[in-house]
């Protein structure tokens, strides 16, 4: 069983959703980023989603765009991102999923990129701008090297495409609960129960829900329906709010992460846990 499958199975056995946390690799610099990742992993995170910094992050809102810009300006490269994963693997077996864009994979050669990612300790690839219809080369390479593939379902995805997406995925399905880009929202999208049920008709893979989830109450609302809850911008804000103060970054992340982790616990069985 892969590390990702184990993480979701463990959460299910404990009657809770898996806590999937996003940070941009190298934000605001390598050492602070490593400390930030360690802090998350020490405070209840089940899956670490690492954004690979990119100059044109079209799926990301301003918070994550600026995080990518800070990382790139500090000297993060594809090689440094892999080094970050290797350093994380020195103290943690928590699954790591790359949140990336296809240009970063393609320019390095799909096969060699996947091989290098696996060797560093990466468990899965979520390639945001690569639809499953065009992903055969990546899917083949990932299966060859035992790297899970994660694909996105959006509120606008037609039923027929969900089945196609599910066939290409091996790790989990990422349901993007809102149209548009990442970012903190005041309330959770209303259609999550129906959307998750629709996805589950096509796959037994875990369904994680993200985009716009930033408070413990919102996490709890989503955890009642989904197998995983993804939080990103609320954690990235802990970094951007304390730039140049690494100690305060880890303090803020500890507090926010601990609070959010409480939300994934379900009060009673809902049939999915």
Angle at 66 between CA 64 and CA 72, to 5 degrees: 105
How many helices, marked H, and strands, marked E, lie in the chain?
A: 12, 8
Please give the pLDDT value at position 212.
83
Residue 203 CB-half CA count within 13 A: 28
- Cα separation, 72 vs 29, in Å, equals 9
- The domains located in the chain, with CATH, are 3-263 (3.20.20.70)
- Consecutive 10-residue runs of the chain (273 residues): their mean pLDDT? 97 98 97 98 97 83 88 96 98 97 95 98 96 97 98 94 97 83 55 94 97 92 96 95 96 98 78 44
Calpha distance 111→145 (Å, rounded): 9
Q: What is the pLDDT of residue 51?
A: 96
What CA dihedral angle connects 103, 104, 109 and 113, to 10 degrees?
-150
Q: Give the per-residue pLDDT at 176.
A: 92
Note the pLDDT of residue 273.
41
What pLDDT, on a 0 to 100 scale, did the predictor assign at position 61?
75
Which among 113, 28, 21 is positioned nearest to 68, based on CA atoms?
28
State the Cα–Cα distance between residues 90 and 85, nearest whole angstrom. 9
- Give the Cβ contact number of residue 244 at 10 Å: 8
CA–CA separation, 58 and 129 (whole Å) = 8
Q: Is 194 a catalytic residue?
A: no
Give the single-character DSSP code of 133.
G
Exactly one of 14, 29, 42, 60 is catalytic; name it. 60
Cα separations in angstroms, 192 against 35, 126, 155, 165, 263 = 33, 21, 9, 18, 16
Marked catalytic residue, from 49, 123, 148, 227: 49
In the structure encoding, which two tokens stand for residue 215, read together? 């408070």
Closest CA to 221 of 192, 197, 186: 192
Going from the C-alpha of 168 to that of each of 126, 143, 161, 177, the distances in angstroms are: 11, 10, 11, 20
136 is catalytic: no
């Amino acid at each position: 069983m892969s590390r990702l499958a184990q993480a979701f199975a463990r959460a299910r056995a404990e009657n809770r959703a898996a806590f999937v946390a996003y940070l941009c690799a190298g934000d605001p610099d390598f050492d602070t980023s490593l400390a930030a990742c360690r802090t998350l992993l020490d405070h209840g995170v089940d899956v670490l989603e690492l954004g690979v910094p990119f100059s044109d992050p079209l799926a990301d809102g301003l918070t994550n765009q600026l995080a990518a810009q800070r990382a790139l300006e500090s000297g993060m490269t594809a090689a440094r991102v892999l080094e970050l994963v290797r350093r994380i693997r020195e103290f943690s077996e928590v699954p790591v999923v790359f949140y990336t864009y296809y240009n970063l994979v393609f320019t390095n050669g799909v096969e060699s990129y996947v091989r290098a990612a696996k060797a560093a300790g990466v468990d899965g690839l979520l390639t945001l701008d690569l639809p499953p219809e065009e992903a055969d080369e990546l899917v083949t390479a990932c299966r060859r090297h035992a790297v899970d593939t994660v694909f996105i379902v959006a509120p606008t995805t037609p039923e027929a495409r969900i089945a196609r997406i599910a066939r290409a995925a091996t790790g989990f399905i990422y349901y993007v609960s809102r149209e548009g880009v990442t970012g903190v929202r005041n309330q959770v999208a209303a259609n999550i129960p129906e959307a998750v049920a629709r996805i589950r008709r096509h796959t037994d893979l875990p369904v994680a829900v993200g985009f716009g989830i930033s408070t413990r109450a919102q996490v709890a609302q989503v955890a009642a329906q989904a197998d995983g809850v993804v939080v990103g911008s609320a954690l990235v804000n802990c970094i951007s709010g304390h730039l140049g103060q690494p100690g305060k970054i880890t303090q803020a992340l500890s507090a926010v992460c601990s609070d959010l982790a409480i939300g994934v616990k379900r009060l009673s069985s809902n049939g999915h846990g």
